Amino acid sequence: MTDEQQILLGGNKTGEHILLNPAMANRHGLITGATGTGKTVTLQLLAEAFSRQMKWVEGIIIFSTI
């Protein structure tokens, strides 16, 4: 799978990209962090990326405890 087909999650200390292969994503996920660390933005970006790359997905449901 090429980098263009993967979802960019971020980078490490050396500047290498951390990529997610959409085919390896399962039905559940957990994003944790302190207030103001970007959890909501991360979920928004992941939902948009999955929507663009996984045409077979009919919808994405996100639950929040806020």
Q: What's residue 17's pLDDT?
A: 93
The pLDDT tens digits of the residues spanning 7-30 come to 888 889 999 999 988 888 777 788
pLDDT at 53: 74
| pLDDT at position 33 | 93
Q: What is the pTM of this model?
A: 0.62
Q: How many CB atoms lie within 10 A of CB 64?
A: 7
Residue spans per domain, the chain = 3-53
Q: What is the mean pLDDT of residues 45-56?
A: 78
